[in-house]
Structure 1
Amino acid sequence: MSLLRPTCAALARRLCTSQPYIEHASRSSILALIQSHRTPRSQCRAFNTTPRYLAKVIDPPQNPTIPQHPKRTVRIGPLPDGRVDDGTIQRIFSRRLSPSDGNNVLRILHHRRTAGSLADYGVDNLGKHYTHVNRDLALKGLEWLREKYPIDEARAAQEWAEKEANRISYELWLADPETESKYKDPARAFKEQMEKEEQERQQQELDGRKIGILHVGKSQFERNIEEKRRERLEEITRIAEEKEQKEREMEEKLESGEWVRTPTGTQLMKPGQSTYVDVFGREQVSRRKEEQEKYSKASAATDAKTPEELLAQTTLIERIWPMSTFVLAVVLLSIGAAHYYTPPAPAYRLYPDLSPTTATIGALLALNCGLAIAWRFMPLWPLLTRYFMHVPGYPRAFQAIGNVFSHVQYEHLLANMMMLCLVGPVAHDLVGRGTFIGTYISAGAVGTLFSLYWANLGRGNIMAHSVGASAAIWGVAALFCLLTDQEKLKIPFFKDKEVAFWPKMLFVAFVLWEIQTALKKKMTTMDHASHFGGMFVGIGTAGYMRATGFHEKKLGLKEGDGMQARADVDAKTVDVGAMAKEGVKEVRESLTRGNK
């Protein structure tokens, strides 16, 4: 029959493989078989198929069971502070547990707290070696741990639940890979798919044939689509593998106890670190503290920790002689510049529309502000500390000038630049650019030298660090107050309000205030020695100019070149507000012409 018709072949297979039902027992076997043949046909297996294969192919499991895996080994680390002493164990467990058992019980309970499994296991079933530990003893240990080592147990329990859910879903997928799940391993699925496609490609190459000028197989367009798809799957696989590797590394770091999770839980950070949100809304760990420590060590001139260690590294002559020679050369060059400086012609000036006073003060402001901004970049700290910060215990010659233009704190910069803008223009108008610049630099260098001598020969702090333009500004202020003949001071922001101006008495008051501040026993961050050095240069320069007939020679600016003259200020009046307005006007006009 099976040779005559295909339906008969199917009928023959049913005769060989079907089992009679109980309800068909009263009927004949032929009739029952025909009736069953009229029902929708079910899938039949071949004659050589085993029942085991039939169970897999015909009836796939709808609810796959989780495969049995070897029991996982849980590593329980020590307590954060190490082993608990015997007396504390006896107080916790009322002398009912030995010190060894008590420590182990505390370790197990603390591991469950940190891992999050305390929500599932509780304090029971501590192991076959601790069956004698009842619930009351375990609760006492848990209470002591919560008081001694407080942690967020709720968060740990939430993370534990998520990991367990992921693990169970992954094991279910391993039992039935065809089941779609969001926890499906993309790396493994991709590798299997690639192996299958490679086998199909090789088989097509073996079976490929040519009909005339036509080639059998996939077109170039289809191959390009498959290539793009392969590249996309490779990228997905790479991202998944990197994420899994990152999670494993995070778990290992957390187990060490040296790392904690960030507030959002996406990253790890060390205790004491802080986080911030970047412009893209992502949480980032701030490593400013570590970078500060790194560059602070790199910028340290020496590894000495105490003044004695610092002094032992160099001799007194090695600390004093190089800077003394350098400052002497700077003073001689400044004197030469003051005597022989000639203002350049407008054609050779970078900004010919600006008065020399505005250009000089503006350049000093720009240089000081530029170095203050440079201090905000930590990679520049080694260079700035080496040449732009004065260290009396380990000095370098160039620090005598470099620290005059350097400011670390914005408050210090603002105070010094405000004084420079107040006294600088009037002093520049009075003595000219050559004498002004020479006095400014010489006062700063000599002030640094005074600070060096006071720290090494006097009672100063050998490990102090000094920066700032205070000494230079004191020198310029002393020069102006001792040379000017102006008698009135116009108050800014008040129209036609003037007061009497006694510059020499004002300078004496400043000197007395500086002496009083320096003699106070209270610790201060001001470098009074450098201030006195700057005053000394200003007084010396003013005395020399008066002795050589300053008012007769008139070494200042040419008629009409000063800011006071441009602002129509009386020669006997100091009008800081009018000079400031004139300076702003000059800068605005210069920029406007430059844009045109």
Structure 2
Amino acid sequence: MNNAIPMALRPAARAAHQWNTVTSAFARRYCNTPPSCFKLASSSPVISAIQSRSSARPIRSFSTTPRIAAKVDDSSLTHQDIIPPQQGLPQRKRTVQIGHLPGGRVPDGEIRSIFGGRVSGHEGNSVLRILHHRRTSGSLADYGVDNLGDKYHVNRKQAIKALDWLRNKFPIDEARAAEAWAEKEANRIAYELWLADPENDSKYKDPARVYREQQKKEAEEREQEAEQQERSQYGILRTGKSQFEIAIQEKRRQRLEEITKKAEEKEARAIEEEKMLATGEWVRTPGGTQLMKPGQDTYVDVFGREQVSRRKEMMEMYQKKANTEFKDPEDMLSKTTLAQRLYPMTAFVFVVCLLSFGFGHWYEPPADEYRLWPDLSPSTATLAGILISNAFVCIAWRWTPFWPIMTRYFMHVPGYPRAVQSVLNVFSHVQYEHLFGNMMMLALVGPVAHDLVDRGVFMGTYVSAGAVGTLVSLYWANIGKGNITAHSVGASAAIWGISALYCLLTDQESIKIPFVKDMEVGFYPKMLLAAFVVWEILMARRKGPSTMDHASHFGGLATGVGVAGYLHATGFHQRRAANLQEEAGVEAKTVDVGKLVKEEAKEVKDAVAKAVKKE
């Protein structure tokens, strides 16, 4: 029991006197140990005394205190010693468990060579086990070779011979063991003296000790009251405490028990914190209320308590989950074959295009009572839905627990693709600037294109153009000269498809400049589309690093051109209805962007005002 009590609670003079007494007692005793053992031992006063006497005197009993031996058998051997009273302490008996010899049971022939013919193999093995236990525990310096018990028929000379046999057979550092035994005994005696000292009242201030003693006292009082009630019963009347008083005592007991439990938990936490601080991996917070790792931040919550911020740790954890397990591009490509990378997304995009064609061909606008936003025009409602979806996904990128899901399904990686990425990455934007630029372009071309072809063709072209653009990017990275590890997100391919569809289908020839009265400029949509294509080719051929996925842009453009060609071949111009500008009295050949924006803003404002009025 090393450092059994705090130094502040020990009676210094009495403990120091007891330590000197124990040390002197051990210094007067010795053990016969090989010289190699003493070279390994420390140079304490106890060991110095043992070393100085070990070569000059034979081994003998180190204590005149009578000892007794417990019942011995080969399976479980115990040893009981009567501990002498120390300065008024009561006499008590201590039992220790003794294990087997390192080499197992000693043969009977070897026992006879050690002890002679009078000692049986069972008795000899028991004596060897007791002596070896004293050597390993360090108690040989206190117990010696005597006090083995009369039942073993072993005299002192035989015990010394058995000890020499053990030292030759199983050499150990007896000096070091004796030193540890001395320290342990000194601490035990000092602790018992501290408990027995009537002048020391510090031990009575321990909340746990006070609570246990109080509970024991109250239990005895309850037993006495119960006996008294049994003796003093007259009819239905009883003497003693009432049920109300008993209930109050029970509540008080529960409260004290809870206080004691909290005190013990607080003490256990303090000990655990000291161990964590000793490792060097933890430091205290500026307020000293908690522990944190170096580099962590702290904040004060709404209740004024100091808290450790784990934002950085959580971000690192989710970022690690979001990262792939590949070390390099070669490792990534080794996990899949070229067919495994191309065929699943190809089949998925083909199905998406078929579904988009069916949606555009058979879609019928719902009645106003079934619409989610009946006060908005179909074009405004469609664009609002696309904008809200993109904004929601962009915000999801800011929440770190979503990172593993977002990188797995909302980001296209040509080296390790997933089929669903071809559609979901069209609605995904990591940066706000990217989202704002794409949605601004969609807000300019989207309303006129939607009014031109209606919602079915518009949404079918938007989704299929984005999916085909992702597929073209996949083929270019795996078969062409694209970057196999680059990731791509955004609605650029879908917007290019809508722009190509509008430029090839519209008959408008002029654009009215917003905020300028009666000013128009020529508008040649097919030439504008050709200019866009040439500009995209020049940007793709430019040397140097680029953050634009030109392959997906060309895929979106090709999809828009294909849809426009199909509509021209099926007589689209003869079947389309009047658009929003015609209903507003604007010439069909003029694109009035300002009027379109004003009409959409007015619709949204009226819808919001109507919703607020209903509430």
Q: Shorter-normalised TM-score: what interval?
A: 0.5 to 0.7
Query: Which secondary structure state, in structure 2, belongs to the residue aligned with residue 284 of structure 1?
Result: strand
- In structure 2, relative to structure 1, the CA distance for the partners of 1:197 and 1:579 (3 Å cut) is farther
How far apart, CA to CA, are the structure 2 residues paired with 1:449 and 1:427? 24
Task: Pick the aligned partner of 1:416 from 431, 435, 438.
Answer: 438
Could you state the TM-score of these two structures normalised by the residue count of structure 1? Answer: 0.64
Structure 1 range deviating more: 372-381 or 465-474: 372-381
The answer (yes or no) to whether the contact 1:425–1:563 under 8 Å persists in 2 is no
Kindly state the Cα deviation for residue 426 of structure 1 after the two structures are TM-superposed.
1.6
Is contact 1:355–1:563 with CA below 8 Å preserved after alignment?
Answer: no
Secondary structure in structure 1 of the residue aligned to 2:308:
strand
Residues 368 and 407 of structure 1 are in contact (CA less than 8 Å); yes or no, is this contact kept in structure 2? yes
> Does residue 268 of structure 2 align to residue 245 of structure 1?
yes
Q: 1:212 to 1:333 in 2, by over 3 A?
A: closer
Partner residue, 1:401: 423
1:267 paired with 2:290, answer yes
Work out whether 1:176 is the aligned partner of 2:193.
no
Q: CA deviation at 1:320?
A: 0.6
Q: How does 1:135-534 map to 2 (within 5 A)?
A: 175-177=200-202, 185-208=206-229, 209-211=232-234, 213-300=236-323, 302-492=324-514, 499-534=521-556
Structure 1 residues 360-411: Cα deviation after superposition (integer angstroms, max 9, x where no partner): 1122122222323333444443333333221211111111111111223333
SS at match of 2:546: coil
Q: 1:274 to 1:350 in 2, by over 3 A?
A: same
Q: Is the CA contact 1:487–1:572 (under 8 Å) kept in the aligned structure 2?
A: yes
Which string of whole-angstrom CA distances, capped at 9 and with x for unpartnered residues, describes residues 292-319 of structure 1? Answer: 343344445x521100011111111111
Alignment partners' CA distance in 2, 1:297 and 1:430: 47
Partner of 1:155: none
Distance 1:279 1:494 in 2: 54
SS where residue 307 of structure 2 aligns?
Answer: strand
- Specify the SS of the correspondent of 2:352: helix
Alpha-carbon offset, residue 520 of structure 1:
3.7
Query: Residues 355, 248 of structure 1: CA spacing in aligned structure 2 closer, same or farther, 3 A cutoff?
Result: same
Separation of aligned partners in 2, 1:520 and 1:233 = 80
Distance 1:412 1:243, change over 3 A: farther
8 A contact 2:9–2:202 mirrored in 1: no
> Aligned partners of 2:420 and 2:439: how far apart in 1?
22
Cα distance in 1 for residues equivalent to 2:438 and 2:220 = 79
CA distance in 2, matches of 1:441, 1:470: 11
Unaligned runs of 5+ in 1: 1-63, 72-170
Q: Look up the SS of the partner of 1:468 in the other structure.
A: coil
Following TM superposition, the consecutive aligned residue runs of length 4 or more in structure 1 with deviations greater than 6 angstroms are none
The separation in 2 between residues aligned to 1:196 and 1:517, in whole angstroms, is 92
SS in 1 for 2:490: coil
- 1:67 aligned to 2:11? yes
Structure 2-normalised TM-score?
Answer: 0.62
Query: Alpha-carbon deviation of 1:423?
Result: 1.9
The answer as to whether partners of 1:361 and 1:424 remain within 8 angstroms in 2 is yes
Percent of pairs with identical residues: 62
Q: What secondary structure sits across from 1:216 in the alignment?
A: coil
Q: Counterpart amino acid of 2:411?
A: M
Give 2:560's match in structure 1, choosing from 502, 513, 538: 538
C-alpha change, 1:432 and 1:201, in structure 2 (3 Å) is same
SS at match of 1:226: helix
1:484-540: CA deviation from partner (whole Å, max 9, x where unpaired):
233444455666665544444444444344334433443233222212211221223
Instruction: Say if 1:263 and 1:565 are closer, same or farther in 2 by CA, change over 3 A.
Output: farther
Match of 1:578 among 568, 571, 595: 595
Identify the residue that residue 167 of structure 2 maps to in structure 1: none
**What amino acid is aligned across from residue 293 of structure 2 in structure 1?**
K
Q: Does the Cα contact within 8 Å between 1:334 and 1:442 map onto a contact in 2?
A: yes
In structure 2, do the counterparts of structure 1 residues 186 and 294 end up closer, same or farther at CA, with 3 Å as the change threshold? same
C-alpha distance after superposition, 1:400-459 (max 9, x if no partner)? 111111223333223322222222112101111111111101110011011111211122
Report deviation, 1:476. Answer: 1.0
> How large is the RMSD of aligned CA atoms in angstroms?
3.3
For these two proteins, the number of residue pairs brought into alignment is: 424
Contact kept, 8 Å, 1:481 with 1:504, in 2: the verdict is: yes
Amino acid at match of 2:275: E
Post-superposition Cα deviations, 1:146-189, rounded to whole Å, max 9, x if no partner, equal xxxxxxxxxxxxxxxxxxxxxxxxx99x943499xxxx644443
Shift of residue 348 of structure 1? Answer: 3.8
Give the 3 Å change call, closer, same or farther, for CA 177–490 of structure 1 in structure 2.
farther
Q: Is the 8 A contact 1:473 1:534 kept in 2?
A: yes
Confirm or deny: 8 A CA contact 2:322 2:407 kept in the other structure.
Answer: yes
Residue segments in structure 2 that go unaligned for 5+ positions in a row: 1-7, 17-194
